[in-house]
């Protein structure tokens, strides 16, 4: 206690009694030299015309007066005071010998010689509408803006021709404004030849009426302590920097500019400190852009956002670059290298309203690891010519797009306007991606890989895809859900419809959770041009739209005409032009849009080895253009308007647990083409058909089958020997026949013929209580108890086309 | 505890020690003589030949040709008001002072002089003795 009291007392005494310096002022016109009387020593006169003070010679003819005052002027300081049309410069005596100062009206030039090896501080204050500050030197310096307001009608308001580090301090609590005029002979209203580091909490407002508002020939850093830097307007860039731009805090507000908001050029692309990068670690950055083909942030090097809040708005459209013969789009953030957003506190909001705009664009890899990103692009297409066009993209990467932790949202409203487009690959491993777009949600020109994260989408343009890969697609995890609601379109005599997932190559699914809805005409949950392999997953697909395009007419000989199938697109849950192989996972598909609405279709071979597969559809629940091999898994296939399971080649059943119920047939192979249903040992089957029978006629039955009668909406248990193979809940039986007009005698029924088979002598019980593991959304179970036994008789083969053909 | 107190005292002394101010500006002439002026209200101005010193005490002029240097000091030394023989307080001791002293001795009401400077003999009186001594000083300065 006593110690502290004594210490406090001593400090207070020191403060009160203080350090009162005595200053000798040498006044030479509007330049005043402040010498500490303790320091000056003997001041010799010579030739009756010269006075030397601390090695500085004063020509007495230039000396207006010498005065003495009890005041302190800090060493190493220069103070410039502006007062309308005049300015006065005050120079600390200890540096006077290294300083040359010239004042003409309110135009001040202060040069420090090459011998300077100590940092001097230059403080500007006051106002002038015809004033400026020019500095030249070869050693770093501090420039304090302490309530200075300068307009220079013929040059830069502040011109620092010092190539070293310039610490620009916005004195706390002060307001500073700078402006040039159209006659400015320099490239900016505030020009720094060297590298500028901005600090302190005052405000600085700059207007560039000739070219740039603020320009640094080397790097620019904005410290955490910075108050507010406002660019009211600039004819060209608001801030033009070479080497790099780094913002650690503070507020920068760019209200308007004729070119880029912040442009950063590289001086040497091989050096990290000169490669033209942008690093934002904190602060608030607001930029409004409008000029065609310009960017809010334009960097020759990479852009790295680790923090801060960025609000970027741009209303401009693209421009045709004659020199490069290409379109330059209006862009929120554009970089010739990588764009990385990795900061939990980082917030990036970009709003682009012009046609053909880009929210974020990078020529290499775009990586979103942490932070919140909201990209809203409301424009439509832009065309320079019929072949040179630009469509809107919220995010575009030329090499790769990686989402591994950030939360990103993309919104577009016009045709061709895409959420994310990678001209290379896409990787989503973590984070959230929300796609509310008119056209594609996320598109990759090469492979797309999803290992984690959450993707949700609401896509409403015609023929738009939520996830589109022009390469292969590999999904091992993550959550993907959403709705594509647009209809189909016909382009170049080919129909195209919406899809939740569209892949031009092969797709492998090893994990992940999917909930994909398509509501428009011809819409698909998953559409794949190559092969599909599903090893594990939880997939839910629903399509409710009708067929897009011209119908196929009657289909029955003698009925109405038909047209090219290329002009129509049928709604399908999962449509694969190549082979389908399902080894595991839980797959639930619903395709209820009427004619053509198939559940799972392969244009080649379908092989099911495992998994829990539940398909309800209007048209075929499972359809293969070639062979279908059902070797395992639990399969529930119900078609209300066609076959439950339809192979246009041979259908081979050799395992698994299959419940199928079709309004035409339960199992249909292309017998017209000489193909058959093969029921082999190991199959557990409950098959229900319409008037065409449970199983296509001519089936090859190696494992004895039995037939009985099944009722709708009832639990049935199939026993293999004395053990329950599986239990299934029968659906409401469809009243439809196969084609228009139905089958003679067709129509709905509360009971239908059911054909069963099992590895051991099967028994069928109805009205059982399901138990054990439930699947097929509680329409299947591994066990059951109770019920009453159904009478079965040996089944040797189904009826084919019935009377009334 | 003792060490802390001693340290703080030293620091405080150091603060005061560096805050030295000066009361006078001393001019050294080419002939070695000096003259000091109070810095209170001090202002120096220059023309082609002279430096004019203005302060609370008044205004003085020194020929630049006679000034060697100047420095700040707290030694009052020979101030314009205390230079023996500088009867008219102009910083110089010359024939003008002799003339004024003679006028005073003959008629004390004729002129206003610096009586202290005029008491060249330092006997407490200003009389012909001081005139004689002053003449000797002036003649000695002229050699």
**pLDDT tens digits, B82-131:** 577 888 877 777 888 899 999 999 998 888 888 888 888 888 899 999 99
Q: Which CATH architecture has domain B21-80?
A: Roll (2.30)
Instruction: Tell me which residue in A37, A66, A67 faces B21 most closely, judged by beta carbons.
Output: A37
Q: Nearest Cα to A135, choosing from A169, A168, A109, A96?
A: A109
Identify the pLDDT of residue A463: 96
Comparing alpha-carbon positions, the chain B residue that sits nearest to A39 is: B72
What is the rounded distance in angstroms from the CA atom of residue B25 to the CA atom of residue A35? 14
- Return the residue in A52, A62, A66 with the most chain B beta carbons within 10 A, the one to mutate for interface testing: A66
State the first-to-last Cα distance of chain A, in angstroms, to the nearest integer. Answer: 111
What is the rounded distance in angstroms from the CA atom of residue A574 to the CA atom of residue A168? 62
Grouping H, G, I as helix, E, B as strand and the rest as coil, residue A389 is strand
What is the rounded distance in angstroms from the CA atom of residue B130 to the CA atom of residue B100? 12
Residue A689 near residue A734 (C-beta atoms within 8 A): no
Instruction: Report the gap between the CA of B103 and the closest CA in chain A (Å).
Output: 34
Q: Which residues contact A661 (CB under 8 A, 6 or more apart)?
A: A637, A638, A639, A644, A687, A688, A689, A730, A731, A733, A752
What is the rounded distance in angstroms from the CA atom of residue A95 to the CA atom of residue A511? 72
Q: Please state, in angstroms and as integers, the Cα–Cα distance from residue A633 to each residue in A28, A476, A659, A796, B92, following that order.
A: 99, 20, 11, 25, 125
Q: Hey, what are A166's tokens?
A: 């310039």
10-residue mean pLDDT series, chain A (805 residues): 54 48 97 96 95 97 97 96 98 97 98 95 98 97 98 96 96 98 96 97 98 98 98 98 98 98 97 97 98 98 98 97 95 98 98 98 98 98 95 98 98 97 98 98 98 98 97 98 96 93 98 98 97 98 92 42 71 98 98 95 98 97 98 98 96 97 94 94 96 90 95 97 97 63 46 95 97 97 97 78 32
Q: Going edge to edge, which strands form the sheet with A715-720? A: A769-775, A780-785, A723-729, A715-720, A762-766, A788-789
Helix (H) or strand (E) holding A11: helix A2-17
Q: Judge whether A4 is closer than 8 Å to chain B, CB to CB.
A: no
Q: Please state, in angstroms and as integers, the Cα–Cα distance from residue A733 to each residue in A169, A543, A696, B116, following that order.
A: 81, 21, 18, 138
Identify the pLDDT of residue A797: 77
Say whether A60 and B46 touch across the interface (CB within 8 A).
yes
Residue B23 near residue B74 (C-beta atoms within 8 A): yes
Instruction: Tell me which residue in A3, A18, A48 faces B64 most closely, judged by beta carbons.
Output: A48
- Per DSSP (E only), the strands in A183-283 are 188-192, 195-199, 203-208, 212-216, 220-222, 228-234, 239-242, 244-247, 251-254, 262-265, 277-280
Contacts of B45 in chain A (CB under 8 A): 64-66
- ∠ CA(A594), CA(A597), CA(A601), 5° rounding? 160
- Return the residue in B46, B54, B56 with the most chain A beta carbons within 10 A, the one to mutate for interface testing: B46
What is the rounded distance in angstroms from the CA atom of residue A501 to the CA atom of residue A525? 6
Helix (H) or strand (E) holding A725: strand A723-729
What is the rounded distance in angstroms from the CA atom of residue A746 to the CA atom of residue A731? 17
- Per DSSP (E only), the strands in A6-157 are 23-28, 31-36, 43-46, 50-53, 56-59, 65-69, 77-83, 86-92, 99-104, 107-112, 120-128, 132-137, 141-151
- Give strand pairing partners of A396: A361, A421
Identify the pLDDT of residue A683: 97
Residue A371 near residue A406 (C-beta atoms within 8 A): yes
Q: Nearest Cα to B88, choosing from B51, B128, B127, B117?
A: B117
Identify the pLDDT of residue A406: 98
Q: What is the location of CATH 2.30.30.100 in chain B? A: 21-80
What is the rounded distance in angstroms from the CA atom of residue A441 to the CA atom of residue A444? 10
Contacts of B5 in chain A (CB under 8 A): 6
Instruction: Tell me the CATH number for domain B83-142.
Output: 1.10.1330.10
Identify the pLDDT of residue A796: 81
* Residue whose tokens read 């599986």: A726
* Residue whose tokens read 């692009």: A377
Helix (H) or strand (E) holding A17: helix A2-17
What is the rounded distance in angstroms from the CA atom of residue A38 to the CA atom of residue A202? 35
Residue A474 near residue A500 (C-beta atoms within 8 A): no
What is the rounded distance in angstroms from the CA atom of residue A75 to the CA atom of residue A759? 101
Comparing alpha-carbon positions, the chain A residue that sits nearest to B64 is: A48
Instruction: Tell me which residue in B9, B45, B67 faces A45 most closely, judged by beta carbons.
Output: B67
Say whether B49 and A48 touch across the interface (CB within 8 A).
yes
The radius of gyration computed from the CA coordinates of chain A, to the nearest angstrom, equals: 40
- Per DSSP (E only), the strands in A440-488 are 442-444, 448-450, 454-459, 465-469, 473-484
Residue B10 buriedness (CB in 10 A; 0-12 / 13-18 / 19+): exposed
DSSP symbols for B83-95: -TT-TT-SS--SH
Helix (H) or strand (E) holding B13: helix B2-18
Q: Please state, in angstroms and as integers, the Cα–Cα distance from residue A29 to each residue in A92, A174, B112, following that order.
A: 16, 28, 39
Other beta carbons less than 10 A from residue A379's beta carbon: 24
281-310 of A, contacting B, C-beta below 8 A: none
Q: Which residues on chain B place their C-beta less than 8 Å from a C-beta of chain A?
A: 1, 4-5, 8-9, 11-12, 15-16, 18-22, 25, 39, 42-46, 48-49, 63-65, 67-72
pTM of the shown model: 0.87
Q: What is the location of CATH 1.10.1330.10 in chain B? A: 83-142
What is the rounded distance in angstroms from the CA atom of residue B71 to the CA atom of residue B61? 17
Instruction: Report the gap between the CA of B134 and the closest CA in chain A (Å).
Output: 29
- Give strand pairing partners of A263: A240, A298
The radius of gyration computed from the CA coordinates of chain B, to the nearest angstrom, equals: 20
Q: Where are the domains of chain A?
A: 22-73, 447-548+568-604, 624-735+751-795
State the first-to-last Cα distance of chain B, in angstroms, to the nearest integer. Answer: 67
Identify the pLDDT of residue A492: 87
Say whether A20 and B46 touch across the interface (CB within 8 A).
no
């Amino acid at each position: 206690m006593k110690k502290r009291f004594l210490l406090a007392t001593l400090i207070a005494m020191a403060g009160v009694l203080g350090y009162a310096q005595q200053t000798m002022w040498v006044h030479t016109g509007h330049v005043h030299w402040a010498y500490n009387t303790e320091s000056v020593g003997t001041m010799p006169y010579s030739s009756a015309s010269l006075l030397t003070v601390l090695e500085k010679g004063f020509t007495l003819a230039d000396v207006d007066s010498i005065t003495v005052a009890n005041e302190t002027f800090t060493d190493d300081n220069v103070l410039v005071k502006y007062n309308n049309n005049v300015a006065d410069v005050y120079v600390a005596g200890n540096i006077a010998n290294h300083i040359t100062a010239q004042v003409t009206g309110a135009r001040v030039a202060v040069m420090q010689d090459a011998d300077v090896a100590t940092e001097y501080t230059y403080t500007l204050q006051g106002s002038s509408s015809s004033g400026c500050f020019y500095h030249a030197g070869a050693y770093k310096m501090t420039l304090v803006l302490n309530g200075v307001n300068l307009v220079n009608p013929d040059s830069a308001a502040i011109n620092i021709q010092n190539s070293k580090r310039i610490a620009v301090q916005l004195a706390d609590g002060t307001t500073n404004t700078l402006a040039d005029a159209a006659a400015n002979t320099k490239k900016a209203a505030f020009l720094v030849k060297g590298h500028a580091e901005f600090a302190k909490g005052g405000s600085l407002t700059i207007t560039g009426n000739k070219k740039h508002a603020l320009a640094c020939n080397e790097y620019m850093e904005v410290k955490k302590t910075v108050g507010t830097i406002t660019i009211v307007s600039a004819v060209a860039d608001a801030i033009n920097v070479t080497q790099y731009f780094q913002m650690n805090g503070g507020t920068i507000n760019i209200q308007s500019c004729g070119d880029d908001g912040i442009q950063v050029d590289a001086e040497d692309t091989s050096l990290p400190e000169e490669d033209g990068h942008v690093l934002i670690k904190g602060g608030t950055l607001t930029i409004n852009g409008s000029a065609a083909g310009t960017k809010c942030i334009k960097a020759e090097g990479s852009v790295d956002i680790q923090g801060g809040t960025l609000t970027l708005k741009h209303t401009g459209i693209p421009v045709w670059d004659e020199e490069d013969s290409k379109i330059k789009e209006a862009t929120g953030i554009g970089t010739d290298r990588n764009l990385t957003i990795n900061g939990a506190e980082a917030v990036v909001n970009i709003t682009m309203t012009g046609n053909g705009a880009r929210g974020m664009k990078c020529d290499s890899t775009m990586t979103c690891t942490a932070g919140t990103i909201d990209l809203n692009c409301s424009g439509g297409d832009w065309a320079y010519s019929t072949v040179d066009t630009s469509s809107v993209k919220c995010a575009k990467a030329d090499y790769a797009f990686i989402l591994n932790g950030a939360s990103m949202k993309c919104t577009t409203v016009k045709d061709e306007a895409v959420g994310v487009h990678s001209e290379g690959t896409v990787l989503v491993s973590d984070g959230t991606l929300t796609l509310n777009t008119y056209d594609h949600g996320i598109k990759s020109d090469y492979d797309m890989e999803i290992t984690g994260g959450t993707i949700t989408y609401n896509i409403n343009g015609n023929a738009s895809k939520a996830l589109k890969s022009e390469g292969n697609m590999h999904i091992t995890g993550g959550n993907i859900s959403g709705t594509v609601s647009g209809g189909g379109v016909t382009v170049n005599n080919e129909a195209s419809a919406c899809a939740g997932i569209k892949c031009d190559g092969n797709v492998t699914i090893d994990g992940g959770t999917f909930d994909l809805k398509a509501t428009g005409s011809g819409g698909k949950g998953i559409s794949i041009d190559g092969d599909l392999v599903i090893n594990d997953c939880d997939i839910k697909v629903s399509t409710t739209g009708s067929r897009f395009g011209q119908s196929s007419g009657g289909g029955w000989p003698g009925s109405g005409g038909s047209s090219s199938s290329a002009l129509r697109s049928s709604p399908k849950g999962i449509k694969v032009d190549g082979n389908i192989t399902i080894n595991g996972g839980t797959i639930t598909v619903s395709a209820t849009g009427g004619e053509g609405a198939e559940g799972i279709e392969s244009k080649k071979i379908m092989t099911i080895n495992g998994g829990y597969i539940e398909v309800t559809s209007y048209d075929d629940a499972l359809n293969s253009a070639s062979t279908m091999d059902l070797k395992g898994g639990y399969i529930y296939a119900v078609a209300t308007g066609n076959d439950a399971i339809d192979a246009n080649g041979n259908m081979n059943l050799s395992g698994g647990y299959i419940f199928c119920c079709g309004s035409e047939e339960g199992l249909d192979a292309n017998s017209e083409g000489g193909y058959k249903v093969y029921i082999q040992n190991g199959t557990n089957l409950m098959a229900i058909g319409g008037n065409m029978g449970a199983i296509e006629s001519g089936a090859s039955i190696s494992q004895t089958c039995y037939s009985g009668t099944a009722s709708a909406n009832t639990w049935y248990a199939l026993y293999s020997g004395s053990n329950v193979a599986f239990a299934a809940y029968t659906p409401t039986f469809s009243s439809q026949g196969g084609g228009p007009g139905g089958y003679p005698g067709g129509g709905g029924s509360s009971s239908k013929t059911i054909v069963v088979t099992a590895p051991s002598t099967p028994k069928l019980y109805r009205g059982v209580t399901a138990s054990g593991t439930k699947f097929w959304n509680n329409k299947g179970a591994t066990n059951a108890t109770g019920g009453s036994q159904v009478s079965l008789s040996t089944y040797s083969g189904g009826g084919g086309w019935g009377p009334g053909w | 505890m003792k060490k802390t107190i001693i340290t703080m005292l030293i620091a405080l002394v150091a603060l005061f020690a560096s805050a030295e101010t000066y009361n006078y500006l001393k001019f050294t002439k080419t002939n070695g003589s000096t003259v000091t002026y109070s810095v209170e209200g001090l202002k120096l101005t220059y023309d082609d030949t002279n430096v004019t010193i203005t302060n609370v005490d008044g205004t003085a002029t020194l020929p630049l040709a006679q000034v060697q240097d100047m420095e700040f000091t707290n030694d009052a030394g020979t101030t314009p008001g205390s230079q023996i023989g500088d009867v008219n307080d102009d910083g110089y001791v010359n024939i003008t002072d002799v003339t004024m002293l003679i006028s005073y001795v003959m008629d004390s009401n004729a002129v206003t002089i610096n009586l202290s400077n005029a008491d060249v003999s330092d006997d407490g009186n200003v009389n012909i003795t001081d005139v004689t001594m002053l003449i000797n000083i002036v003649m000695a300065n002229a050699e």
